[in-house]
Amino acid sequence: MLTRRTFFKSSSLGIGSAALASLLAGDAQASTGLPSLPNFPAKAKRVIYLFQHGAPSQLDLFDYKPDLQKLRGAELPDSVRKGQRLTGMTAYQAKFPTAPSLFQFAQHGKSGMWLSELLPHTAKMADDICVIRSMQTEAINHDPAVTFFQTGFQIAGRPSIGAWISYGLGSIGQDLPAFVVMVSQGSGGTQALAERQWGSGFLPTKFQGVKFRSGADPVLFLSDPEGYSGTARRRFLDDLAKMNELKLQDYQDPEIATRISQYEMAYKMQSSVPELADLSKEPESTFAMYGPDSRKPGSYAANCILARRLAERGVRFIQLFHRGWDQHNNLPKEIRGQCRETDQPSAALLQDLKQRGMLDDTLVVWGGEFGRTVYSQGVLTDDNYGRDHHPRCFSLWMAGGGIKGGVTHGETDDFSYNVVRDQVEVFDLHATILHCLGVDHTKLTFKFQGRHFRLTDVHGSVIKDILV
């Protein structure tokens, strides 16, 4: 974290140059990633992953099924369901009435992409995004499904995708961590989101995501006691460093030098993070673009602005989690709320990155952990229905660095129940994200318990059709 030059300048120590060089080499590795990466020229330098937590309904947003309208209320044919596993919430439901979407779809952009009326802003970016309609996952309950998306495995314990990427590629800037996470709460009900979802698993803990939040302390314990800032803080840290340097001279343990440098980094974060989180200098036009919510600290819209600011400041992997998509009941009402919160800011982020010339080297991903059922959970009425978890097919979109815009990839059957063309597994998505970053997913490995682990385990193939 500490650069070689500042270290030499700030210390007048008698430490042997070999030890120091090795210390700095080791340290450099923490911020610049593995020397063997990237494997090939990267299209994207960074990723902004907009995780829609709780699982948005593909049927009401992306996967246009006009023919379903005629089948409203009809029993889902067994030939479609084929006895597949249902969750415990509807497994014993006596009826599976088909619930077509209440929302209108229309074609957008030059590409004529079909999108729901719930996404008017995203629709304006249709020619920049690639919708994948043929996602598929193995997990059917939230926690294991998010764990699968985040780590490539349903059971907790493996590194998250952001940790893999910060391990492999390090950070771009000097003053912020490589992997930053922000969580916002939607109007819908919440599902759990454990800290381990951005954990480092068996990778060293320094690669875990750092959670930023809104408010005075975007990073925990960032603020000094009141009235003890500025010069007082500097004076204090200088004295602390001098004391540590005395020890370093005596013991020559490079860990002491690392500790000194980490206090320096903490000091830098004490200014860089509040500066980052302070949106007061953003022009009016920013807030206009991201929508009215963007003035509310902690909202998804505000986090989208922060995501752009983090991207500008060299953070490698930025992940937003927006919660509240788990619409088992009252889907029409709740999905309207969730879309109001996310549609405009997500589109604005794309627009904003594009204006700044950053969309070309920023990969943006938008999606949840699985899809939702075509049949109604609970009673289907003229203006209401619910949808249960559905892992067999769902939609998400990608845009920017390395991805072809205006593309709709993959296809599901008439009931949006099974994938019929170009199935994309979670591993394929992972492989593709890594590919955009210039990383061959089979080469990003870490040896643990006698085995070379990788994010994509023994699976994954890059979705070539959607690449630029």
Query: Binding other proteins by CB under 8 A: which of 263, 422, 445, 461?
Result: 263
Angstrom distance (rounded) from CA 452 to CA 444: 9
Residue 227 contacts other proteins per CB under 8 A:
yes
Q: Which is nearer to other proteins, 222 or 279 (CB)?
A: 222
Query: Binding other proteins by CB under 8 A: which of 266, 295, 330, 414?
Result: 266
Least distance CB 120 / other proteins (angstroms): 26
- Spell out, one character per residue from 13 to 52, where the chain touches other proteins: x when CB under 8 A holds, - when not: --xxxxx--x------------x-----------------
Q: Which is nearer to other proteins, 48 or 269 (CB)?
A: 269
Distances from the Cα of 374 to the Cα of 61, 69, 82, 101, angstroms:
13, 12, 14, 9
Q: Which is nearer to other proteins, 389 or 409 (CB)?
A: 389
CA-wise closest residue to 150 among 141, 158, 159, 160: 160
Least distance CB 24 / other proteins (angstroms): 13
Least distance CB 222 / other proteins (angstroms): 6
State which H helix or E strand residue 242 sits in.
Answer: helix 231-251
Span of 102-110, 183-191, 406-414, 425-433 interacting with other proteins by CB under 8 A: 183-191
Least distance CB 101 / other proteins (angstroms): 22
Touching other proteins, residues 242-261 (CB under 8 A): 242-244, 246-247, 250-256, 258-260
Q: Which is nearer to other proteins, 70 or 216 (CB)?
A: 216
Largest Cα–Cα separation, the chain = 82
Least distance CB 73 / other proteins (angstroms): 17
Least distance CB 19 / other proteins (angstroms): 4
Tokens for 304, please give them: 């989208």
Q: Which is nearer to other proteins, 115 or 203 (CB)?
A: 203
Angstrom distance (rounded) from CA 119 to CA 116: 6
Distances from the Cα of 316 to the Cα of 135, 211, 336, 361, 450, angstroms:
25, 14, 32, 11, 29
Query: Binding other proteins by CB under 8 A: which of 102, 129, 269, 350?
Result: 269
Touching other proteins, residues 429-468 (CB under 8 A): 449-451
Query: Binding other proteins by CB under 8 A: which of 219, 311, 358, 437?
Result: 219
In the chain, what is the straight-line distance between the N-terminal and C-terminal CA atoms, in Å? Answer: 34
Beta-strand pair 424-425/445-448: unpaired
Least distance CB 332 / other proteins (angstroms): 21
Count of residues of this chain found to bind other proteins when the rule CB under 8 A is applied:
86
- E runs forming strands in 61-152: 105-108, 113-116, 129-136
What amino acid occupies position 330?
N
Least distance CB 202 / other proteins (angstroms): 9
What amino acid occupies position 279?
L
Contact 351, 125 (CB under 8 A): yes
Angstrom distance (rounded) from CA 345 to CA 113: 20
- Spell out, one character per residue from 60 to 89, where the chain touches other proteins: x when CB under 8 A holds, - when not: -------------------------x-xxx
Q: Which is nearer to other proteins, 98 or 261 (CB)?
A: 261
Least distance CB 157 / other proteins (angstroms): 4
At 221, give phi and psi (nearest 5°): 65, 25
Touching other proteins, residues 376-415 (CB under 8 A): 378, 388-389
Query: Binding other proteins by CB under 8 A: which of 5, 78, 226, 382?
Result: 226
Touching other proteins, residues 297-356 (CB under 8 A): 321, 323, 328
CA 222, 226, 227, 228 dihedral sign is negative
Least distance CB 103 / other proteins (angstroms): 25
Query: Binding other proteins by CB under 8 A: which of 67, 75, 187, 228?
Result: 228
Q: What is the dihedral of CA 258, 263, 269, 271, to 10 degrees?
A: -140
Q: Which is nearer to other proteins, 235 or 356 (CB)?
A: 235
- Spell out, one character per residue from 128 to 157, where the chain touches other proteins: x when CB under 8 A holds, - when not: ------------xxxxx----------xxx
DSSP 25-53: HHHHHHHH--TT--SS--S-SEEEEEEEE
Tokens for 11, please give them: 């210390």
Our measurement of the distance from residue 433's CA atom to the centroid of its chain's CA atoms, rounded to an integer in Å, reads 11
Least distance CB 156 / other proteins (angstroms): 4
Touching other proteins, residues 185-214 (CB under 8 A): 185, 190-196, 200, 204-206, 210, 213
Angstrom distance (rounded) from CA 53 to CA 145: 10
The percent of the chain in helix, strand and coil, each rounded to the nearest 5, is 40, 20, 40
CA-wise closest residue to 362 among 301, 313, 291: 313
| Residue whose tokens read 């067999």 | 392
